[in-house]
Amino acid sequence: MSVKTILIVDDEPVNLTLLTSLLRPEYLVRAASSGEAALRAAVSEPRPDLLLLDVMMPGMDGYAVLAQLRENPATRDIPVIFLTALSGAEDEERGMQLGAADYITKPIKPTVLQVRVRTQLEASQVRHLLQDQNAILEAEVARRMAENDLTQTVTIRALAHLAETRDSDTGNHINRTQEYVHVLALRLQQHPRFSAFLTPHNIDLLTKMAPLHDIGKVGIPDSILHKPGPLTAAEWEIMRTHAKLGSDAIEQAEADTHAEQPLGFLSIAKEIAHWHHERWDGGGYPDSLAGDAIPISARIMAVADVFDALISPRVYKPAMLFAEARDIITAARGKQFDPDVTDALLTGFDDFIAIAERYRDK
């Protein structure tokens, strides 16, 4: 164990000599004869582990020194024991209010001094140990949270890519729609209709979960999923089931974990998968929801998904020009799409073009 350093502050040379002689056999002792000198010594090496501070000094008294020590982050945690001839209760109370660790009255009793000093140094060591342990614990919690977050993200992407292997048309669709959703959510964050839901946490979840919107297509037969021409009415009914298939699969995964309460990130994933084909006017599927009855997450996903479908080539159609897609989205405002979500796309439309170009399918 290293030798502890004690800084003695007193304007009387006799007191400095006496206190040094009492403590030096066990501690490294430094001395300062004024408040100003004490403040300089407190931040110079070797840094003191404890201050013995006289109260009554000319110029800057002990109270003023302690106040400045507590204001400086580098010295605020150094324990201070006041040494004073003042014995009134109000003097002791004032010192404690300023943050003194202890209060010893003069004349100094050697045994009392040594016990008080040892007690404060041991208490300080325990505090530092607890601070170190808390720092280690916080670092471990942060590491595990980051690891959990990464695991969650990798799992989501793996599931999304699994769906992608079934649908050769998707390509970079999940990357583009994820970026569209993120931009839309940020633009709507301050809107009074959306601000309560679009917290930074929910925006993060919404962005992460966006790739799962078509996870239900894993359950659609290849003959329908890859059909180069228009679907028949019967085939279209089967295709429409992918929305519920997706949310059912996520819900089953949630049930398999035996969670005591719904997991927030899976709740948003289920909303996106289940309702991203609903329409603002109630003409969508699978539940014919209308207006604000459609979850915000699904309304945002709907605009992002349709925009990308319009500008992307499919086995049954060529890619549409950006201007044409913009016109179709505009015409669907208040019919297929939430008007405010539509406006968020149309405002700064070039940002969405840039995302589409960045993740263009090869």
Q: CATH no. for residue 271?
A: 1.10.3210.10
Distance of alpha carbon 79 from the chain centroid: 34
- Residue 336: closest CA among 298, 275, 279: 279
Do 189 and 252 have their domain in common? yes
Task: Give the single-character DSSP code of 232.
Answer: P
Please report which confidence band the pLDDT of residue 257 belongs to, taking 50, 70 and 90 as the band edges. Answer: low
pTM of this prediction exceeds 0.85 = no
Which residues, including other chains, have CB under 8 Å from residue 338's CB and lie 6 or more apart?
280, 294, 299, 303
Please check whether residue 160 lies inside any domain of the structure.
no
Do 224 and 93 have their domain in common? no
Do 205 and 112 have their domain in common? no
Residues pairing with 333 in the sheet = 337
Helix or strand (DSSP H, E) at 54: strand 50-54
Please report which confidence band the pLDDT of residue 353 belongs to, taking 50, 70 and 90 as the band edges. Answer: very high
Helix axes 200-209, 264-275, angle to 10 degrees: 50
* Residue 124 backbone phi and psi in degrees, to 5: -65, -40
Task: Give the single-character DSSP code of 228.
Answer: S
* Residue 28 backbone phi and psi in degrees, to 5: -80, 120
Distance of alpha carbon 54 from the chain centroid: 46
Please check whether residue 205 lies inside any domain of the structure.
yes
% of the chain exceeding 70 in pLDDT: 89
Do 79 and 177 have their domain in common? no
Mean pLDDT for the stretch of residues 352-358:
95
CATH number for the domain harbouring residue 115: 3.40.50.2300
Give the structural domain span for 253: 167-358
Which residues, including other chains, have CB under 8 Å from residue 100's CB and lie 6 or more apart?
53, 66, 80, 81, 82
- Is it the case that residue 161 has pLDDT exceeding 70? no
- Is it the case that residue 8 has pLDDT exceeding 90? yes
Helix ranges (DSSP H) in 189-321: 200-209, 222-225, 233-240, 242-256, 264-275, 296-311
Mean pLDDT for the stretch of residues 142-157:
72
Do 116 and 194 have their domain in common? no
Please check whether residue 58 lies inside any domain of the structure.
yes
Please check whether residue 21 lies inside any domain of the structure.
yes
* Cβ proximity of 216 and 240 under 8 Å: no
Mean pLDDT for the stretch of residues 174-186:
94
- Residue 187: closest CA among 65, 341, 39, 302: 341
Domain boundary among 115, 136, 157: 136
- pLDDT at position 146 is 73
- Residue 206: closest CA among 268, 250, 292, 259: 268
Dihedral through CA 139, CA 145, CA 148, CA 154, nearest 10? -100
Please report which confidence band the pLDDT of residue 168 belongs to, taking 50, 70 and 90 as the band edges. Answer: low
Mean pLDDT for the stretch of residues 211-223:
87
Computed over every residue of the chain, the mean pLDDT equals 87
- pLDDT at position 334 is 97
Residue burial 11-42, b: 16+ Cβ < 10 Å; e: rest: beeebbebbeebbeeebebbbbbbbebbbebb
The pLDDT tens digits for 82-139 are 988 766 566 667 767 777 888 888 888 888 888 989 998 888 888 878 887 888 888 8
Radius of gyration from C-alpha coordinates of the chain: 35
Please give the Cα distance from 172 to 170 (Å, whole number): 6
Please give the Cα distance from 229 to 221 (Å, whole number): 15
Residue with tokens 């070039």: 350
Task: Give the single-character DSSP code of 108.
Answer: P
- pLDDT at position 289 is 97
- pLDDT at position 318 is 87
Do 180 and 277 have their domain in common? yes
Residues pairing with 5 in the sheet = 28
Please check whether residue 300 lies inside any domain of the structure.
yes
Do 126 and 180 have their domain in common? no
The pLDDT tens digits for 70-88 are 999 999 889 999 988 766 5
- pLDDT at position 335 is 97
Q: In the numeric block, which tokens belong to residue 92?
A: 């002791």
